[in-house]
Chain A
Amino acid sequence: MKRRPASVIFATGARYILPLMLLFAFFILLRGHNEPGGGFIGGLVVACGFALFALAYSVADARQILRVDPIQLIGWGLLLALLSGLLSLLLGLPFMTGLWPDFAIPAIGKVGTPTIFDVAVFLVVIGVVLNVVFSLAES
């Protein structure tokens, strides 16, 4: 870590809260199809976790543990969203037709193209929010 954290309690707390928030965000993402939740809100939770970390330590530290540039996250998220829509074209169906497999994965449930789309939204939201937060904090 490059500089001393502002508060030892806050900094120690942030290190434990971040993984919990990431897990919780993943749970929200997956339950989102039929119940409240989904990629958008899940992405916000992830972004909050990293924003908290950036407050407790520094933006540079938060960027370091994020490992990817937030702009790249936006790009990959949008690409994933586009691909989830394009899959149905292979079957001769219109763009963005929802495709669901017959089998369900234990504990998660069926994973179809709308799930992939939700993951894409998840990535885009993380990318956009963190890009805004980091830029504001750095300037």
Chain B
Amino acid sequence: MNLVVFLPLFVPFFTGIIGLLLWGKPQAQRVVSLLGGIGLTLVGANLLLTVIQQGIQVTYIGDWVAPFGITLVADLLSAIMVFVAGMMTLSTVIYAIVTLDAPRERNGFHVLLHFMLFGVIGAFLTGDIFNLFVWYEVMLISSFVLLVMGGERAQLEGGIKYVTLNLIASALFLSAVGILYGVVGTLNMAHLAILVPQVEQQGLITTLAILFLFAFGIKSALFPVFFWLPASYHTPPIAVTVIFSALLTKVGIYSLIRVFTLIFTTDTAFTHTVLLIIAALTMILGVLGAVAQFEMRRLLSFHIISQIGYLLMGLALFTPLSLAATVFFLVHVIFAKSALFLVGGIIHHMTGTYDLKKLGGFYRVSPVLSVLFFIPAMSLAGIPPLSGFWAKYALVRAGLENNQPWIVAAALGVSILTMFSMTKIWAEAFLKEADDGKLRENVPALQSIPAALRLPMLAPIIVLAVLMVVMGVAAEPFFALSLQTAEQLLSRTEYVQAVLGVQL
């Protein structure tokens, strides 16, 4: 039994159960939730270190050996995602403890958060495509409640769109799994990797690939099915938005990376070209949507979509360099986006608004907060020496090496527009003073938040900002790990060998 793979599933589940038993005792739930967040980070780190040192880790649930039972597999990509998910959980819990309103906390925010994480981690670790569907459902049901918890009008409106589109995606996903099983006769992903190229009707496999693309595309907010995201992500409290933006769409992208590197690799000329076109349209439309926004959370939500386009671009180019860029980008964008949403949350906490037109003057009053916004914003835009620069640089280079100059042009153009909308927040919320040229009055300073709240609110952002600088200045080890991940994904032999014990 390989406990290393099992523990990241055990911790959030156990935390959720204990939270449930402590229903109606918010103080105790907070402590449990915090311990759960710390625990998940630690077991995630442990998993990542083990996978780096000893290769892919596998465990067979219930002792049913692959391909018959459910296999949990942790390769480098899974392990990285689990570790990052742990860190984001811890950040969210810390932030939620000091900012979340009492009714939401009493109604089980912490319990739902950990049950959602249970689903997210399960999706990262499972080696069985039907089981992946089950984990998606675990994750979605908790996320439905988290999204509408509080019952504000806007939340319910956003919630309906979110639930409807995600249920359509689930139905498509399930149908695709069913047809795949009908065609190939197995659901174990490593086994699929062996059997799919042997299927005679390859046309059917390509059709299935597109069906999976559509299902996961809705979940990860790709063009043309991203509309649920900007309609719903700005409605819940910022702690919920942070964990959603950090993990939910990324689970979709993770699934796309998994199936399009492990299973659907027989007709890359067609499937990966489709991916590339969708990637370009996703990033362009996402950023164009963002440019028009003046509500900070809506603006950032549109940027999630645009960044998803970059992630898909790396997958679509399908070279070791481009996939490494995607892995690096994935971690970078989770950090950058979360930090930006958290800064937005602090501004809202002090002023009560997210509207850029009503904000201004924070640079003069709160230089610390300004720096904490500036780092993730510039990192997202791709300014050296921050993490986003290396991620984009690798993507651009992979695109040029692949003779796809148009996608490179799109990526660079979108970068400039990203820069533009980050500058817009900077100019409006931080630099702008009163219209008549005088200094703006009544701008709240960070000191207006009590010290006991200020530190826990700022701590996650500081850690994320430092990580972004480190990933930028000392990019070498991080990128080496990303390259190793990419090679593991592309060669597939190690994965199949670890799960089934046979050569591909």
Residues of chain A touching chain B, judged by Cβ–Cβ distance below 8 Å, are 69, 71-72, 74-76, 78-79, 82, 88-89, 92-98
Partner of B20, one of A78, A88, A93, A94: A78
Residues of chain B within 8 A of A72, CB atoms compared: 20-21, 23
Q: A82-B14, A89-B1 are in contact. Are A98 and B21 (CB under 8 A)?
A: no
Question: Given known contacts A71-B23, A79-B21, A94-B63, what 12 new A-B pairs fall within 8 Å (CB)?
Answer: A71-B20, A75-B20, A76-B21, A82-B10, A82-B14, A88-B63, A89-B3, A93-B63, A94-B1, A94-B2, A94-B59, A94-B60
Residues of chain A within 8 A of B17, CB atoms compared: 75, 78-79, 82
Distance of A21 Cα from B437 Cα, bound (Å) = 78
Distance of A76 Cα from B1 Cα, bound (Å) = 26
Q: Per-position contact with A for B42-73: 1 when CB-CB < 8 Å, else 0?
A: 00000000000000000111110000000000
**Is B13's CB within 8 Å of the partner chain A?**
yes
Q: Which 4 A-B pairs have the closest CB atoms?
A: A75-B20, A75-B21, A97-B63, A96-B62
Distance of A89 Cα from B5 Cα, bound (Å) = 13
CB pair A82–B13 under 8 Å, yes or no, is yes
Residues of chain B touching chain A, judged by Cβ–Cβ distance below 8 Å, are 1-3, 6, 10, 13-14, 16-18, 20-21, 23, 59-63
CB pair A95–B61 under 8 Å, yes or no, is yes
Distance of A71 Cα from B17 Cα, bound (Å) = 10
CB pair B21–A94 under 8 Å, yes or no, is no
Residues of chain B within 8 A of A88, CB atoms compared: 63
CB pair A95–B6 under 8 Å, yes or no, is yes
CB pair B62–A95 under 8 Å, yes or no, is yes
CB pair A93–B1 under 8 Å, yes or no, is yes
Distance of A96 Cα from B6 Cα, bound (Å) = 11
CB pair B20–A74 under 8 Å, yes or no, is yes
Residues of chain B within 8 A of A75, CB atoms compared: 17-18, 20-21, 23
Distance of A88 Cα from B23 Cα, bound (Å) = 29
- The chain B residue with its CB closest to the CB of A79 is B17
Distance of A79 Cα from B16 Cα, bound (Å) = 10
Residues of chain A within 8 A of B60, CB atoms compared: 94
Distance of A62 Cα from B18 Cα, bound (Å) = 26
Distance of A134 Cα from B180 Cα, bound (Å) = 42
Residues of chain B within 8 A of A96, CB atoms compared: 61-62
